[in-house]
Structure 1
Amino acid sequence: MEMITSLMDPWAFALALSVAFIAGIVKGMVGFAMPMILISGLSTVISPELALAGLILPTLATNGLQALRQGWRAALESLLRFKGYLGTLLVVLLISAQLVRVIPADVLLLIIGVPIVLFAATQLAGIPLRIASPPSRAVEISIGAFAGFIGGLSGVWGPPTVAYLTALDTPKADHIRVQGVIYGLGAFVLLFAHIGSGVVRAETIPFSLALLVPAFVGMWLGLKVNDRIDQKVFRKATLFVLFFVGLNLIRRGLT
């Protein structure tokens, strides 16, 4: 605890715990947005670099739970189905993580936010964007590379993945599980990538550990809600979360 309070004020730490709880609820409901909520909320009171370090372990742990909720066989099937996308994402993520101090943060936020808002808005307006399933190798690799690039720099690779799965019209249970597999392996790589970049170190690990409990409690509540909604409601909820997350990223990029 002393190590955490040496990094931030007690009130900032209390706010961080609250943000992790809210991120967990949303994560349980729609399967994503934890890194985005954490990086957005935590960055208002602590440095973006410390916020990035804080989200690593909660993201890794909750995605592991999400991926294995229907058993390891289902998780393995999802892994094999999206192996091209996932392989590209992980390789690019590992490389781009080393550029975390090079590219301006405002530029990165706009790169993520603008296409996500456009995608979510057109979907909610009833203008469908569909990708044939299974997708072509070029589409799979291109989207995986984009997601990995922004993921290594910001810890946020959810929006392109969710947009991709939504465009494939993936069923709710598969949507949630595939997200868990993809984000979980990505978070595992991100952990070691940022050990190398210096973001994750002995001084910042206790803070990330402290965020695990509120994240898990929030996710448990969110999963209860997810179990009660159908595919149509799930899709709309996913798109609304994408839309507002994208707007927030654009706001931060412009300000």
Structure 2
Amino acid sequence: MLQDTLDLMPLWAFVAACGVTLAAGFVKGAVGFAMPLVMISGLSLFLDPLVAVAGIILPIVLSNVLQVMRFSWSQAGEAVKEFWRYIVIICVMILISAQFVTMIPAHVFYLVLGVPTVTLSLIQLIGVRFRVAPKWRNASEWIVGLISGTIGGLTGTWGPPTVLFLIALDTPKAKQMLVQGVVYGLGSVTLLVGHLQSGVLNAVTIPWSAALLIPGYLGMQMGFWMSDRMNAAVFRRATLVVLIVAGANLVRRGLLG
């Protein structure tokens, strides 16, 4: 079984994967999200999409645990209480859509995530701000959660719509980091369960995913150091730039292969 894991990729690809994971962990620590997005974008350059999806699962569980641990249990509980609708629909849709991931052609896989990420992020970066009126808050959580969870189960990342939704709610930087950690943490555990069921995560791919925990952890610690030194305006722009760059690479892969 171990030999099957070693046969997933040549040594150079594993080393490159560790580098991608280190960079993804740094981005995650700095802006609070995008680890799976950066990993999928980078790993898919030289690995099969399903191997890439399997690889991201354990590192994103760890990264979100580390992110939530920077806050108190009471703060995390308040975040769950406030966003419970969003969390519930995301987890349900991740479990459902993860079962279809092996049926999705690779180019569709990339475009489903890349196109909306780049489009919505560019709109906001040039100055257009989406805002959710208080009266539409509950309905918007169900709608955005449905979209996020569906994308998350298929691609392994539901960060872009979540971040854009939090920005539309004018969520402060610290609270945004907390809410993202809670939403992604619970969602990543759901994703793990979903892909144990789908077969993407199995006895061969679990050791591969576990091996990426170390570079993911180191990257997160460096990212936390950077995040503590960014003001809110820089934080928001950095978040959108990360989304655009990673999303554009996915679109390129979807169109050009």
Deviation at 1:72, TM superposition (A): 1.3
Deviation per CA, 1:95-129, whole angstroms, max 9, x where unpaired?
Answer: 01111122323224223222222221121111221
Letter in 2 for 1:60: V
Is the 1:30–1:238 Cα contact (8 Å) retained in structure 2? Answer: yes
Q: Per-residue deviation at 1:2?
A: 4.9
Please tell me the residue identity of whatever aligns with 2:61: L
Report matched runs for 1:40-189 at 5 Å: 40-133=41-134, 135-189=136-190
Corresponding residue number in structure 2 for 1:194: 195
Conserved 8 A contact 1:97-1:194: yes
Residues 61-119 of structure 1 deviation map (CA, whole Å, 9 limit, x = unaligned) = 11011012112111111111110011001101100111112232322422322222222
Give CA-to-partner distance per residue, 1:198-220, whole Å, 9 cap, x none.
Answer: 11111111111110011110110
Residue 8 of structure 2 is aligned to residue 7 of structure 1: yes
Give the number of aligned pairs. Answer: 255
Q: 1:248 maps to what in 2? A: 249
The equivalent of 2:237 in structure 1 is: 236
Normalised TM-score (structure 1) = 0.95
In structure 1, C-alpha distance between the alignment counterparts of 2:182 and 2:241, rounded to whole Å: 23
Structure 2 unaligned residues grouped into runs of 5+:
none
1:172/1:133 CA distance change after superposition, 3 Å: farther
Alpha-carbon distance in 1 for matches of 2:243, 2:205: 29
1:222 maps to which residue? 223
Query: Could you tell me which amino acid in structure 2 is paired with residue 156 of structure 1?
Result: T
In structure 2, the CA distance between the partners of 1:133 and 1:231, relative to structure 1 (3 Å rule), is farther
CA distance in 2, matches of 1:233, 1:105: 34
Gaps of 5+ in 1: none
Q: TM-score, normalised by structure 2?
A: 0.95
Q: CA RMSD in A?
A: 1.4
Give the 3-state SS of the residue equivalent to 1:161 in structure 2. Answer: helix
Distance 1:216 1:180, change over 3 A: same
Residue 100 of structure 1 aligns to a residue whose secondary structure is helix
Contact 2:49 2:106 in 1 (8 A): no
Counterpart of 1:121, as a letter, is L
1:31 and 1:204 map into 2 onto residues whose CA distance is 26
**8 Å contact kept, 2:27–2:220:** yes
Contact 1:4–1:206 (Cα < 8 Å) also in 2: yes
Contact 2:113 2:155 in 1 (8 A): no
Shift in alpha-carbon separation, 1:133–1:218, aligned structure 2, 3 A: farther
3-state secondary structure, aligned to 1:202: coil
1:136 aligned counterpart, secondary structure = helix
Secondary structure at the counterpart of residue 111 of structure 1: helix
Secondary structure of 1:60's aligned partner: helix
Displacement of 1:40 after TM fit?
1.7
